[in-house]
């Protein structure tokens, strides 16, 4: 089912009170996933949806789930999220739409206080939002029962499975009545996601969101084949050029701190970082300060970056190439939204990142430049195509000789903008795989 979204909120079968709440939230028009998923969820179907962060997927399950269960007493809704941050955001969206009906939300996440969560669970919340690990913890302690759940939501199912939550998901699912509605949202559909869908869902309706080239974000993507030693200098060059907000992705948590430290030493103070070893309140503060503009740059790992709900970043830097090609799409999806042209720069080390870059190439269906190769500059397709190349940054006052080597090694312009836009839409729709899961159910 691939449709252009021409629906309005009033077309989706929602109550007038809910329409009023949506108006208050300033959601003028439903997004594609909302237009397609909401009527199906309201009718009680299982729904399997391909969806990206930023597509409005959270509201696409929150709004109809609240509509279905408002006015009923009991814990009917359980949403599983891959990370604490995503769980908190989802909890906040549930709060926003459910509190008007007196519905209570309990959020259970690693790192938070067990006794406080136990109390929230004991107060018979209508909705539980949890990370799988923490929910299993509460199940083992006897703090919660799941036999009332009638609507089970897997948010970012691919990410939960990649993070190794398969066992916990099984434990949780086994404790929920089979007579239920199951909703699954996933950006990608690997065999493990398919397996979970087959196990947990019954004849799901599919929702495939395929971004058109026009609606996909416009992202100017660049690949820099450089050595490990050149990465910091290159990042600093970009920081000097880029006046907007930046998201810097690194491969490991120690790395987030190291890069932050090096930038501090180089005099860049408007930079913060976030990784999973930081206490929860420190993470929340870092994200809040980035959102409020106190910091212009945030350094994060993939797991942490996923949960940060910021969608208008000017520039994404892949300081380290992502381990999974799908993460490349998630990462760069932070920029180029709201009709603006975004920028994404990837640092790859020859001999080390060749395979990862090949995987990204495969995913995007577009060849990337090889180390030392300088492919033809795209003609007039995007801002980079039109823009005359400056030989050195305006605000770089170092002698030319010092710049020369880096400039030669890093300039690898990228593909035409249209292809970039299509690639940015990424692997997410995978209609073939979705159809396979669906056809499995139809068999
Ligand atoms: P999500 O994909 O659920 O992470 O949502 C991304 C962002 O879009 C969130 O900040 C939402 O508040 C916002 N959002 C969701 N639906 C709409 C809508 N229909 N119109 C405008 N903004 C929306």
30 lines ligand 1 (CB under 6 A): yes
The per-residue pLDDT for 323 is: 84
| Rounded distance from Cα 27 to ligand 1 centre (Å) | 8
The C-alpha atoms of residue 295 and residue 146 are separated, in whole angstroms, by 42
The number of C-alpha atoms within 13 Å of 443 and in the hemisphere containing its C-beta is 8
- Ligand 1 pocket test target in 56, 185, 313 with most atoms within 8 Å of CB: 56
Domains and CATH numbers, the chain: 9-208 (3.40.50.300), 218-439 (3.40.50.300)
State yes or no: pLDDT of 255 exceeds 50. Answer: yes
Give 51's pLDDT tier (boundaries 50, 70, 90).
confident
- Tell me what the pLDDT averaged over the chain comes to: 80
59 lines ligand 1 (CB under 6 A): yes
Query: 116-120, 236-240, 390-394: which has the minimum mean pLDDT?
Result: 390-394
State yes or no: pLDDT of 438 exceeds 70. Answer: no
| Rounded distance from Cα 306 to ligand 1 centre (Å) | 15
230 lines ligand 1 (CB under 6 A): no
| Rounded distance from Cα 347 to ligand 1 centre (Å) | 30
The per-residue pLDDT for 335 is: 84
More confident residue, 227 or 409: 227
Give 352's pLDDT tier (boundaries 50, 70, 90).
very high
Packed helices 354-364 and 325-332: angle between N→C axes, nearest 10 degrees: 70
Query: 30-39, 137-146, 400-409: which has the minimum mean pLDDT?
Result: 400-409
57 lines ligand 1 (CB under 6 A): yes
The C-alpha atoms of residue 31 and residue 215 are separated, in whole angstroms, by 11
The C-alpha atoms of residue 7 and residue 180 are separated, in whole angstroms, by 28
The C-alpha atoms of residue 313 and residue 334 are separated, in whole angstroms, by 6
| Rounded distance from Cα 254 to ligand 1 centre (Å) | 32
Tokens 């993460």, residue located = 327
More confident residue, 383 or 362: 362
143 lines ligand 1 (CB under 6 A): no
333 lines ligand 1 (CB under 6 A): no
| Rounded distance from Cα 421 to ligand 1 centre (Å) | 20
Give 243's pLDDT tier (boundaries 50, 70, 90).
confident
Nearest atom within ligand 1 for CA of residue 52: 2
| Rounded distance from Cα 58 to ligand 1 centre (Å) | 7
Give 372's pLDDT tier (boundaries 50, 70, 90).
low
The per-residue pLDDT for 227 is: 95
7 lines ligand 1 (CB under 6 A): no
């Amino acid at each position: 089912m691939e449709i252009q979204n021409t629906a309005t909120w009033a077309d989706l079968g929602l109550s007038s009170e809910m329409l009023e709440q949506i108006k208050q939230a300033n959601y003028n028009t439903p997004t594609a996933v909302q237009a397609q998923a909401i009527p199906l969820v309201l009718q009680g179907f299982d729904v399997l949806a391909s969806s990206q962060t930023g597509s409005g997927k959270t509201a696409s399950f929150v709004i109809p789930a609240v509509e279905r269960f408002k006015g009923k007493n009991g814990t009917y809704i359980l949403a599983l999220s891959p990370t604490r941050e995503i769980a908190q955001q989802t909890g906040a969206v549930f709060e926003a739409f459910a509190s008007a009906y007196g519905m209570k939300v309990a959020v259970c996440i690693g790192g938070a206080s067990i006794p406080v969560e136990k109390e929230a669970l004991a107060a018979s919340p209508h909705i539980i939002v949890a990370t799988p690990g923490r929910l299993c913890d509460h199940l083992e302690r006897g703090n919660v029962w799941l036999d009332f759940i009638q609507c089970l939501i897997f948010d970012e199912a691919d990410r939960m499975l990649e993070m190794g939550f398969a066992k916990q998901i099984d434990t949780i699912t086994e404790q929920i009545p089979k007579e239920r509605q199951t909703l699954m949202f996933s950006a990608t559909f690997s065999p493990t996601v398919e397996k979970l869908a087959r196990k947990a869902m019954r004849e799901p309706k599919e929702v495939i969101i395929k971004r058109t080239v026009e609606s996909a974000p416009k992202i100017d993507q660049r690949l820099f084949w450089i050595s490990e030693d050149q990465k910091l200098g290159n990042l600093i060059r970009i920081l000097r050029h880029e006046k907007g907000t930046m998201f810097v992705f690194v491969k490991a948590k120690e790395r987030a701190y190291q890069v932050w430290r090096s930038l501090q030493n180089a005099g860049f103070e408007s930079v913060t970082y976030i990784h999973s070893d930081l206490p929860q309140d420190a993470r929340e503060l870092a994200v809040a300060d980035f959102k409020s503009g106190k910091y212009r740059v945030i350094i994060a790992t993939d797991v942490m970056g996923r949960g940060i709900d910021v969608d208008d970043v000017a520039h994404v830097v892949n300081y380290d190439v992502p381990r999974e090609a799908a993460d490349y799409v998630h990462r760069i999806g932070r920029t180029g939204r709201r009709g603006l042209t975004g920028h994404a720069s990837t640092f790859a080390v020859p001999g080390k990142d060749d395979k990862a870059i090949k995987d990204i190439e495969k995913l995007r269906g577009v060849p990337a430049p090889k180390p030392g190769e300088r492919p033809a500059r795209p003609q007039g397709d995007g801002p980079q195509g039109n823009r005359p190349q400056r030989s050195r940054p305006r605000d770089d006052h170092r002698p030319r000789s010092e710049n020369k080597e880096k400039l030669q090694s890093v300039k690898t312009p990228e593909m035409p903008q249209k292809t970039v836009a299509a690639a940015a839409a990424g692997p997410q729709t995978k209609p073939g795989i979705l159809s396979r899961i669906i056809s499995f159910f139809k068999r």
